Structure 1
Amino acid sequence: MALLPHPIDEDEVTVETRDLLPSHFLFKIESFSLLSKHGIDKYESSEFESGDYKWKLIIYPNGRKTEREDGTDHISVYLAISETSSLPACWDVNAVFSIFLFNHKLDNFLSVRGRVRRFHSLKPEWGFSTFIQTETLIDPSSGYLVDDTCVFGAEVFVVKNKGTKECLSLLKAIDPFKREFKISRFSRLGKIWFSEEFKAGDHKWKLIMYPKGDIEEKERSVSIFLHSVDLERDSSCKKIKANFYICIKNQLIDGAHCKNGGSHWFSTLWVTWGCSRFIPMVDMNDPKKGFVVKDCCIIEVEISIQAVVR
């Protein structure tokens, strides 16, 4: 067999014969010897469709110029993805393909299949620069060229990319974001209080407070949580690791603030994190404790974003 076992453009190939017709494309060339005489050094076939993409064969009857020069003439055959202008920006398509050559004498096909190839804007075509030696093709005993006619074929199987992609971005330490909220008429708050949205580390957040406790601490403790607005609304963001602290300021005694928080991975499953037992209600509502003065409390939040997963 004169087919090179290791063509220049393919380091892993499977060479076999089979009786079945190629599934996606057949290309017949009549008067093959006239290609060179007519100065046709390259011919691109019409388009065919496979895997929701359009493709074409490119045949170099005198071989495609490569860096390798071994003194042997070859036929080069390539598969190219077509109509790329309709594809999205930064497109890429992974595919396994086979190139076929019909043997008239044996009534079967020579099949050359390579490994999975990634077609993209910088590499829209892949193939075999040394598909078959010219000497073998034109040899009457080989059966590939009969009455100056040969038949090529192609099969293309697109590898659908359904895998999940994830990107972890670690952020450099910067000064933490701080925001203060002054809540008037504290005693008149309902079961739940939401702060206005604020932005920290390019992400949106808000505070959630249960003045009379959440379900776990009802009528016992004030419950306060930090809530990620981005993870609730933006599906492109999967996780956010944040260092945060929530503080109820003591308005009578400097430094006697009630503070809670820590480091936490906020995710689409845990968009809210905080403390159900932030401060006992009796302490919060005791005017002598200094957390509520003139029916007003002051809450401060401090956030430092450490990592983001998309």
Structure 2
Amino acid sequence: MEGEEKKAGGRSSPFWWTIDGFSTIVNRGADTYYSRSFTACGFNWKLRLGLVLEKDGEKYVRLCLSNDDAASKDSEIKAIYKLFIYDQLHGEDIQKEGEDYFHSKSLDGCCFKVALNKFHSSKSGLLVNDRCVFGAQVLHAFAISKSDKEGIHESLSLNKDLTPRIYTWVFKDVSKSNMILKSEAFAAGGYNWRIWLYPNLATCKDALGVFLTMHNAASLASKTSVYVEYSLSLLDLDNAKHRKLTAKNLFSSGSFTWGYPKFLSWKEVQDPSRGFLRNDICIVEATVVVLGVNTIALTRTKRTRCDLS
């Protein structure tokens, strides 16, 4: 067996791996064979060859590109490459393109499988005088650290102080209102908030809608959201059987209002046996806990590119 790197036509050639005595591999069956290490695009590689029996009963020759560096690096190596088997009779390659991430738990890329009977075909030049020629060409390769992997990265910074802010607001003339009722702004977790009430309006027909809105959301960066746990309560002034709903949501400049369009049916709000509406007054309470800040960033990977020219 021998490996070589050649120059041809002004372009970097593949790494070629010639195997004499291919029948030995066929006779031994399950053994795995590795080429010597070769360098391409700043990393070290090997070819791995084996024979496998698939579920269809056919035997296949499997050729893989294996990375020699990934096991010792705290990063992934992304590579775009080609695998070849040279047809010695027709002077051409059969090939497969691959694009893989190599890391400590996966040193091999995708495998190029060719049926063993194709090697023994009289019309094929893959096996001549018990000799085969395999190859690999690494087109581009670059390391990607765990923190710099290309893509969209979301980061949630949680607060240590999770003291809730409880705010109570008295709404007057509720049933007479034909518009949204808004509380004064109140501070919680470093942001300003308001309670919005929809008393049987067209958008919340036959119901009371209750919402929490971030009053200063427009000042947030476009990729920043505030992660909030909140409760909205309509107080029962007679029986203390309050209506309370709790949720967690991300508030941002584009999504600054969360709540319940059908917090309670309008019939239940007006029910005289309940204490939700007295003298056309209702009391709504908001409990707000700012859990943290969520940011989204698009990361571009720094690449060491190997171009064939």
TM-score normalised according to structure 1 size: 0.46
TM-score calculated relative to the size of structure 2: 0.46
